[in-house]
Chain A
């Protein structure tokens, strides 16, 4: 069993200008590349899940890995999410570094006990004798006419659980660097992949032609190893008038809406929900004095509620307007009315106008 790989120095985290060996990749290719790089570096990394082996996954995220690394390290599993995660916990206890895929985040609920009571608690309850270095990958979020069982955003369930980290990338470059950091992490990580932007950024206008990642600066992805540390937000757009906290697909929807409104907003792409980059949030909100929180997940007890509390506790005397939330409604994710549910440009623009009025 190899030792855990030492994190590289911060200087190894490259910025877009100095990306060596970079290649245009969409988010699926970047995720695939992250697993490829890690399987090559660390023989303990194993990939498992429904349809991930020979076929390469329903979204093709694991394409080619079984051919390259063999069936002992990349294998299809029975259709039991409880079993997939339970088996991954056991493999982690043996000393492996499993990367199970849950085919859709909507399917993760049968695995909740193994995630919440086992993977997330093993280090604590055994005082470090056993750990669960799992990275659970799962496509999440709507916008693909997936109906209520292929569209949900359950990140708030996991941010509520002690002992698990929750990571959500918004670009191919981040997806690879964050996934590598997640796989190297010795704690369980829920890695939710915004499937609406697998193939291209989404501006929130569902009735315009889909864009690809071609030409997007964050789609320039180094082919080799690099990591983006967990717990560090990204300033997607610098600004002075307003801070918008978002992650995943909503980063792009917000960017586009901000561009359309002309407001000088600072857009923070949180990237990691737990641990949260509270410094970046606090610095930005204290600078702008206004805060909007946007997520696709349902509103009540959503992660936005936690963000709102944190901002209120730390930045209350800097605030010039009440903090606003734009979120999915507290309903199941509908099929035909998907775009009524989706917190798109109309609702974001309304919220920005309201905050800026005060």
Chain B
């Protein structure tokens, strides 16, 4: 940064008696070796948030973008106007799906470390965001996820062996080994093909929702992105389109505080909330405790009911914490305080729902431990099953010539020519 004087020593703004300008470059509260401190977070008590009518005008509910919808209190009670009052079987399904997601993540993370695949992304601490959403939507509503919503597939009972085949890029991979691990596509689960380019799914979800509305369909769309990628132009294009056409879409921002090594301040969190992005677009905005699965469910249900009644889009910020690294290629100890995840003030979403279920008298520690064991065995068995189809780099992939398929519906001459050339070269090389 240069001072107020130029190289000749003369004041740069001679005669203008103005202070030098300063550039503000955000800095997170704690770096490695420093103490984490979340006391600056303003966390309202569970149950304290009002619940507007689903038909409320966005202008009437702007304060919702700055609050935090919370249902589960410190004692595991579900309280307040947002309590979805779910039946015991739904609560236990939620608990099981979240636990299965975590067990799946643990197994696949280990598989990557064992060299069975190239890449993996855990959703540890963020399971409620996917599971609560999936259960609040109808099974045929269309999801346009980002890369950390594997819980949606799990909550839609998609076979985990199929997910593992994709992660191993093996001969059982329906995507023919073309996509980076975890970039699933499952049309039959209403789960759009995941892109590695961030937030491109946002305008696509809006377009799908607009098509559904134009056709007089009853299905709605939902999409997810991280807080970091709300800075992408696609996010803002999507918000404009969603607002203009009142598209039946739910736009979720998973604010897990970190975009690889960039804290949320680099997406604007020092100045406002991500839910408040909705206000400028005239969209309903909700801000939710993303580690409270009942709050996530309730907010998603509110938004889904609103969209289905032609009330238009909702932007939901899920306030959560990325407990693990961005991916298996990332080491968060290089840029953030190691204390953060243990001090995270909104707790662990699985532990919180477990506490609630126990408080409700429908669950206990023994059953929970037994469930965890059962799920660990289930994912282990599924992984063994998937590994029969091969692991990355061990031969059992799709035939080489398939790399030319699906570029176009019909293979044009230049791809046929390149395909033949590749096969001839390998043959000539004796391979």
- Residues of A in contact with B (beta carbons under 8 Å apart): 46, 72-73, 77-78, 80, 82-83, 85-96, 98, 110, 113-114, 117-118, 122-131, 162-163, 165, 185-187, 231, 274-276, 278
Using Cβ atoms and an 8 Å threshold, which residues of chain A touch B197? 113, 117-118
Shortest Cβ distance from residue B188 to the other chain A in the assembled complex, whole angstroms? 9
Q: Which residue of A lies closest to B223 (CB)?
A: A90
Chain B 133-159 per-residue mask, 1 if CB under 8 angstroms from chain A, else 0:
000000000101000000000000000
Query: Given contacts A125-B193, A126-B175, A130-B185, is CB(A89)–CB(B237) below 8 Å?
Result: no
Using Cβ atoms and an 8 Å threshold, which residues of chain A touch B175? 125-127
Structural contact, B144 and A163, CB atoms closer than 8 A: no
Structural contact, A117 and B179, CB atoms closer than 8 A: no
Q: Which of A113, A163, A165 contacts B200 (CB 8 A)?
A: A113
Structural contact, A90 and B237, CB atoms closer than 8 A: no
A130 CA to B200 CA, complexed, in Å = 15
Identify the stretch in B90-98, B112-120, B201-209, B335-343 within 8 Å (CB) of chain A at 4 or more residues.
Answer: B201-209
Query: Given contacts A110-B233, A114-B234, A231-B412, is CB(A87)–CB(B206) below 8 Å?
Result: yes
Query: Given contacts A77-B241, A87-B203, A113-B200, is CB(A126)–CB(B193) below 8 Å?
Result: yes
Chain B 185-204 per-residue mask, 1 if CB under 8 angstroms from chain A, else 0:
11100001101010010111
Tell whether B212 is near chain A: CB-to-CB under 8 Å.
yes
Query: Given contacts A94-B211, A127-B406, is CB(A86)–CB(B238) below 8 Å?
Result: yes
A123 CA to B404 CA, complexed, in Å = 12
A246 CA to B236 CA, complexed, in Å = 40
Query: Given contacts A90-B208, A94-B211, A130-B187, is CB(A122)–CB(B193) below 8 Å?
Result: yes
A72 CA to B207 CA, complexed, in Å = 12
Can you list 12 residue pairs at the A/B interface with Cβ under 8 Å?
A46-B214, A78-B241, A83-B241, A86-B237, A88-B207, A91-B210, A94-B212, A117-B197, A124-B406, A127-B178, A129-B193, A186-B409
Q: Which of B187, B240, B409 contacts A123 (CB 8 A)?
A: B409
Using Cβ atoms and an 8 Å threshold, which residues of chain A touch B413? 275, 278
Q: Which of B174, B203, B409 contacts A187 (CB 8 A)?
A: B409
Shortest Cβ distance from residue B361 to the other chain A in the assembled complex, whole angstroms? 44
Interface size on B, residues (CB 8 A): 45
Structural contact, A91 and B238, CB atoms closer than 8 A: no
Structural contact, B207 and A94, CB atoms closer than 8 A: yes
Per the 8 Å Cβ criterion, residues 405-431 of B in contact with A are 406-409, 412-414
Shortest Cβ distance from residue B215 to the other chain A in the assembled complex, whole angstroms? 8
Using Cβ atoms and an 8 Å threshold, which residues of chain A touch B202? 86
Structural contact, A127 and B237, CB atoms closer than 8 A: no
Structural contact, A123 and B208, CB atoms closer than 8 A: no
Using Cβ atoms and an 8 Å threshold, which residues of chain B touch A118? 195, 197, 200, 204
Q: Which residue of A lies closest to B185 (CB)?
A: A126
Structural contact, A86 and B207, CB atoms closer than 8 A: yes
Using Cβ atoms and an 8 Å threshold, which residues of chain B touch A127? 174-176, 178, 185, 406
Q: Which residue of B lies closest to A110 (CB)?
A: B233
Q: Which residue of B lies closest to A71 (CB)?
A: B214
Using Cβ atoms and an 8 Å threshold, which residues of chain B touch A275? 412-414
Structural contact, B200 and A86, CB atoms closer than 8 A: yes
Using Cβ atoms and an 8 Å threshold, which residues of chain A touch B412? 231, 274-275
Shortest Cβ distance from residue B334 to the other chain A in the assembled complex, whole angstroms? 29
Using Cβ atoms and an 8 Å threshold, which residues of chain A touch B206? 83, 86-87, 90
Structural contact, B237 and A82, CB atoms closer than 8 A: yes
Structural contact, A90 and B240, CB atoms closer than 8 A: no
Tell whether B183 is near chain A: CB-to-CB under 8 Å.
yes
Tell whether B244 is near chain A: CB-to-CB under 8 Å.
yes
A163 CA to B408 CA, complexed, in Å = 6
Structural contact, B238 and A117, CB atoms closer than 8 A: no
Using Cβ atoms and an 8 Å threshold, which residues of chain B touch A78? 237, 240-241, 244
A214 CA to B65 CA, complexed, in Å = 61
Using Cβ atoms and an 8 Å threshold, which residues of chain A touch B212? 94
**Across chains A and B, which 6 residue pairs bring their CB atoms closest together, nearest first?**
A90-B207, A86-B203, A83-B237, A87-B207, A90-B204, A275-B412
Per the 8 Å Cβ criterion, residues 260-300 of B in contact with A are none
A165 CA to B234 CA, complexed, in Å = 24
Chain B 223-257 per-residue mask, 1 if CB under 8 angstroms from chain A, else 0:
00000000001101110110010000000000000
